[in-house]
Chains A and B, each alone.
Chain A
Amino acid sequence: MTPEILAELTALRDAKTPVVLATALPGGAQRLLPAPDAGDALNQAAQRALDRDESGTVAIDGQDWFLQAYNPKYRVIVVGAVHIAQALVPMAAFLGLDVTVVDPRRSFATDERFPNVTVLTDWPDEALDALKPDSRTAVITLTHDPKLDDPALDRALKSQAFYIGALGSRRTHARRLDRLRELGHGDDAMARIKGPVGLNIAAVTAPEIAVSILAEFIAMRRNAGKA
């Protein structure tokens, strides 16, 4: 890899721009995609690699290209700097996810409780408006407090977030759905919310609940059961 390509690739990744490193095989000539002069076939193959988040080798006009997809990390927005978040956040970071914690209660949302993670003390609706959840973002509410959870879920439902989870029992969740319905959300849209959040592994402790939530996140991300 030439220093020029490494520098450009590093800059694009730092800017969280999706990019593909294409390597001509077996020779090893490299270029970054998409590029205006690369041709439709190669650019489209690069886009597919990014969409599927899958690297692989393709043959185009008799030339093999290895396409390495570099997507930005998946993002996880955790609303509620609570005890379960303290278990969830380091596990999510370990999975290679880009984690942000949101909690306006400053006694909870401290850097001591959440080292090396972005902690925002804005109200959840304002925070989500700024963070703009996309199709590679998960929003997980953990506060149990309608004042904090509801505005976050409202914004999450209006976004492309691919995973929305809300901590709370079935009864709590039913009441939550009633409130969200009053805000104008339909039942189909609200079916996107995983509530109670997490796979049912009979989790009890905070770390166990964190595992169940992240297991559900992984199943959604990898399309488990849909292949």
Chain B
Amino acid sequence: MRPRIGADVGGTFTDIVVDLGPDGPLGTSPIDRYPSTKVLTTHDAPERGILAGIETLAAELGLDLGEVDQIIHGTTLATNALIERRGAATALVTTEGFRDVIETRNEGRFEQYDLNIVQPAPLIERRHRYVVPERLSATGEVLRPFDDAAAERVVERLADGGYEAVAVGFLHSYRNPDHERRFRDLLRSQLPDVAVSLSSEVSPQMREFERFNTVCANAYIQPLMASYLVRLRDELRARGATCPLDLIHSGGGLVSVDTAAAFPVRLVESGPAGGAIFAAELAAAYGRDRVLSYDMGGTTAKIALIDDHTPQTAKTFEVARTMRFKKGSGMPISIPVIEMIEIGAGGGSIASVDALGQIRIGPRSAGSEPGPAAYGLGGGEPTVTDANVELGRLHPDTFGAESIELSPAAAAAAIATGVGGPLGLDVGTAAVGIAEVVDENMTNAARVHAVERGKDLRGYSMVAFGGGAPLHATRLMDKLGLDEVFVPPGAGVGSAIGFLQAPFAYEAVRSFYTTAGDFDHEAANQLLDELEAEAETFVRRGTDAPLAVERSVAMRYRGQGWEIPVALPPGPFDAFASELLADVFTKAYEEFFGRAIDDVEIEAVSWSVRVASIRDRPVARTTVAADRLATPSTTRPIHDPAAGGTVEAGVFDRDELAPGVGVTGPAVVVEAQTTTVLGRDHVAVAQPDGSLHITRSRRTAGGAP
């Protein structure tokens, strides 16, 4: 196998990983499969950081870029352009009477108890929104013909306005794209250089606010993303990398540069998707059917559920929340996405005391600048990292970042000032409080996320990665009542490794409202065939591999507002499809909510087909038990909640733990990018693939005081 490269451009770091393959030149051990490097992200021109990282790593490995088989890229550039409003001069053209859909939103307040909320500003101001007389019905029939003369006048105004991009969103266009296409054709004939996005192509899903917002976002970032991607490809070619450049999208699959440049909104939130794929790959290798993916970095923690080795997906999500992590305060984007919950619980999250005398964590973060107080870079407020330093979990002697000299004294001072003083607690107790509260926040977020998906977390296995997760993983395992945690190798660059494990995949979604009782099976067959053909076209631009097809439909009982996804059996529907649909929905509903309801009409709303290349399954692994125990070269005191106080923990170097070597808690296992903490009741065993497999040696009561 020829080497492949993954490049993940994040807010702070750009991670470059090379996949040398299971039997690559250095691949004598699976641990060596993914050599990596981290460079600082170059925000003004992200390709510089990528190229520098690739060149550095290639030089280290003696790698000829001409030998590289594929480069896979994921970037926060699209997300950041939306958050920072750095997109093109964009206009929206919409149905007369609906000029303000993206401004009036859902008419609700996202925070009930705040008189001073500010709604997110629409991506396109009112003065840049134009209307055309036309109207389709809910079934796609013409209620009011498209007014060509009026459309011509709108095009003239667009020409005068000097727009770089135009979004077109007409009512019910997901059922009938004709009017949107007519406007596009007219626009192209007059203004061929203006980028145009149609809502019926970008996101043919019912619900105008979400769809219009999505097409606006696509148009808004398209010129920027297209020029960036072309620049990156050219620069790579100039350096001899003539292989394909592919992009990871938010649904966790790969698309070609051309597809990405046409639908850049599908790149939003693609980085976290890589992390979920990384966890899914481990779940598949170890045959774990129910996995909780837990990724904790500097500013947030992200939790995703992975059932049957497949991350859960959703059809809509929200970006650029103005009130951090508050549902409803951002922009809805309706495209297929790996579903996860993100909360303000990272190493840099700031701890404070509220009016109730309670410790609060986040949502403010010290980020990397000024950073936690312990970094000595000017941060004075106590953070989660400072608590971990105070509790002995992080230590100056073993902290990975070479440029940072951890200062326990600075951490203690910040905790004393910010939390200990106001609550009358000593520094150690205040630090325990910070750690407990952040762990409880993550635990509660995981539980609520599971409930929203109709899942119960009992019996799940955790995969912990990102710089912060291994510090907190065992505590979360105890609080959630899980039985095992995997800390895979390369946890600090998990997303970039995940890119290399992703299939080519495209999910085509379209709304088509029908009831199970009044089901037109021929129309549904035609729709599903069209969706499959559309998805396959995009996938075939990137790969010749054999393909797998998954079809699903979002259904609900009439009168409900939430649909649940139901997988459809393969093959076309026949005349008995009504009963089949009702049957699969009833089963799924029971699984979701515990109880089906009789005699209420069942509705189908949105249909989707995902086409993905079939990848080789990962090498099957079983966990090995410890055949010998490691002895620590040194110990240090850490706080252990199960013990209710400070215990002396063995300190182990992860690189020195050979497969089959066990570590009994209390212990800390240190490595360059993170530290894994074991309480007195935890046991870790190093696995042949380099993972740490952590279980409990005896039952622990999670919250004993």
Q: Do A and B bind each other?
A: no
